[in-house]
A and B are shown apart, each in its own frame.
Chain A
Amino acid sequence: MKTRILTAILASALLLTSVAAFTSCGKTESDGKITLTNVSYDPTRELYEQYNAVFAKYWKERTGQDVEITQSHGGSGKQALEVANGLEADVVTLALEYDVNAVRDAGLIEDGWVSEFANDSAPYTSTIVFLVRKGNPKNIQDWDDLIKDGVGVITPNPKTSGGARWNYLAAWAYADELYDGDETKIKDFIKKLYQNVLVLDSGARGSTTTFVENGQGDVLLAWENEAFLSIQDYPDDYEIITPSISILAQPSVAIVDEVVDKRGTREVATEYLQYLYTDEAQRIAGDNYYRPSNETILKEYADVFNLDINLVTINDFGGWDAAQTKHFTDGGVFDEIYE
């Protein structure tokens, strides 16, 4: 009798677990409403919040269907990893091509996704700039000021933060130009730069906190859109310095083929990404401090962005796979400068 009570407790516990297993699934689409999951990276939430509303309205007008978009934000590399491991994303809108390639390598996205949409599937771009304290007390104007003694630099670790790889590559591009491709000298430059790094946070947001909230360092290497967000919060405390050379950061968008085929959402997913290139969406990107890929719209924001900056692209490094192998894998240049 008593054992039966206990067995009942056990049975109920197991039952509860299985109930949990089933509550989350079985929620199928009802009454013609389409759901779409957009797995993105951290600071794009406001951008997509505004865009999703615009797109939902457009889709309703075009097809009469309601579309509900679920957002997911996190570190770009981590997000890619989750999609590769079974997070059902219809589209990914990540910080760099390399992360989308990781999803491709897991077999979820077909080859050639880069050319599926205009501008290498990057509807908006950004670049790397310096955020310095108001009045620029250390007089930091360009990359070579960062390797001077007594300058404290804050940047995230390129090994854990996809975005930080752009920072590293932008510095490399400057040194490449300065030393005319002499690799020993370039490495030396990069080494000095990272010796001046006071705190190597794991992500972009952590670095911003270190610089802004905890007052460490003299200069923060940041994505332009994130630097603008900090200025917006503390207009009297910081200013943005645009270096002479930087890199064109291209956040990539792609359709996750396996998922859209399974869920039957290819049409709406394609349209969702395609619509990012319309004037209206490009202006939303601009309002959120991303540089619109449409040149005409970009010019409308000439008073916001410094358009004279000399931008190299990832192709100058031979594409992401080459850059990754050379610089960031174990034993690569980034490891070398710390040995």
Chain B
Amino acid sequence: MNKETIGSKVVKWILIGVSILFAILMLVLPLITVITESLKQGWQVYIDSVADEYTVKALLLTLEATVFAVVINTVFGLFAAWALTKFRFKGKKLLGTMIDLPVTVSPIIAGLIFVLTFGRQSPIYPLLQELDIKIVFAVPGIILATVFVTFPFISRELIPVLEAQGTDEEEAAALMGAKGWTIFSKITFPHIKWAFLYGIVLCTARAMGEFGAVSVLSGHLRGKTNTLPLHVEILFNEFKYVPAFAVSSILVMMAVLILIIRSIVEYIGKRESEDVR
């Protein structure tokens, strides 16, 4: 028994060591590169690039697209996870696959399909023109693309947990006459809340950083349809290496901020659940 614990301790530290090494090589070093590059020409250049009028506008647009993506995907994710795990029906696997598909579609193709659907070559383009609705190369296109690339993030987090949990509790509650919303909020939600939180964090992070699909759809109009990642690309292409990294560091900071918020929520939540016990 004693030997076992020593053995497991060794395993524990080996695993931790491997994880930390991996994290340093794959996650920390690229991050440090971003920060050092952004400060290569000193603080003044950094502040100038971050406070630039177009950077601020790009930031606002990124936030707008992210909020839309999170809201729409949350609504979708909850319903889809409920439908896929609490009921049995034909074509369930197909539906699950369809939901996952957007993540695996190349961002370029993702952009391309929206251009084909709503762009000038599309059969519905004249109709859109008539109604004066712009989708591609305008904000709605950017939002659509962002929703598309983050589409399964919330439902995918929820489904494995709900699947592992089974349907027994909900069935019991339903047989006792509880209504849908009550079942969801009292029985299902407590099980999935952490997965749900992960989903939102993933979705937010990915939505902020999305580049490929949005780049195909945005038209790169300065101050109008440039998101932060696109602004980074443009600065880079304009031979503004350092400002490009400075703007990327905003994205890094936003990501860190979200992760801090998540940790706080998690911490409070876990403490509360311990108090109840």
Contacts and interface: CB of A to CB of B under 8 A. Distances in A.
Interface of A: 2-3, 5-6, 9-10, 13, 16-17, 20-26, 37, 39, 42-43, 45-46, 70-75, 78-79, 82, 84-88, 106, 203, 205, 208-209, 213, 226, 229-230, 233
B72 interface: yes
Given A73-B234, A87-B219, A226-B239, 9 more contacts: A13-B72, A24-B139, A42-B237, A45-B238, A71-B221, A72-B222, A74-B215, A85-B115, A209-B236
Contacts of B137: 82, 85-88
Given A37-B221, A70-B221, A70-B222, A21 B140 contact: yes
B239 A230 contact: yes
Closest 6 CB pairs of A and B: A2-B181, A86-B120, A85-B119, A24-B139, A42-B237, A87-B137
Contacts of B133: 21-22, 25
Nearest to B131: A25
B42 to A, nearest CB: 15
Given A13-B72, A85-B115, A230-B239, A72 B139 contact: no
Nearest to A10: B75
A296 B261 CA distance: 62
Contacts of A88: 137
Contacts of B215: 74
Nearest to A204: B237
A25 B221 contact: no
Nearest to B181: A2
B188 to A, nearest CB: 14
Indicate the size class of the contact surface on chain B. Answer: 35 or more
Contact of B132 (A20, A25, A70, A74): A25
A16 B121 CA distance: 27
B271 interface: no
9 contacts: A2-B182, A25-B138, A74-B237, A82-B137, A85-B120, A86-B119, A86-B136, A213-B241, A229-B239
Contacts of B234: 42, 45, 73-74
B241 A209 contact: yes
**Which residue of B135, B143, B223, B238 has the most chain A CB atoms within 10 A of its CB atom?**
B238
Nearest to A75: B237
B248 to A, nearest CB: 14
Interface string B66-79: 00100110010000
B143 A20 contact: yes
**Which residue of A26, A74, A78, A79 has the most chain B CB atoms within 10 A of its CB atom?**
A74
B81 to A, nearest CB: 14
B86 interface: no
Contacts of A6: 180-181
Contact of B140 (A24, A84, A205): A24
B191 interface: no
Interface string B122-160: 000100000011111111100100000000000000000
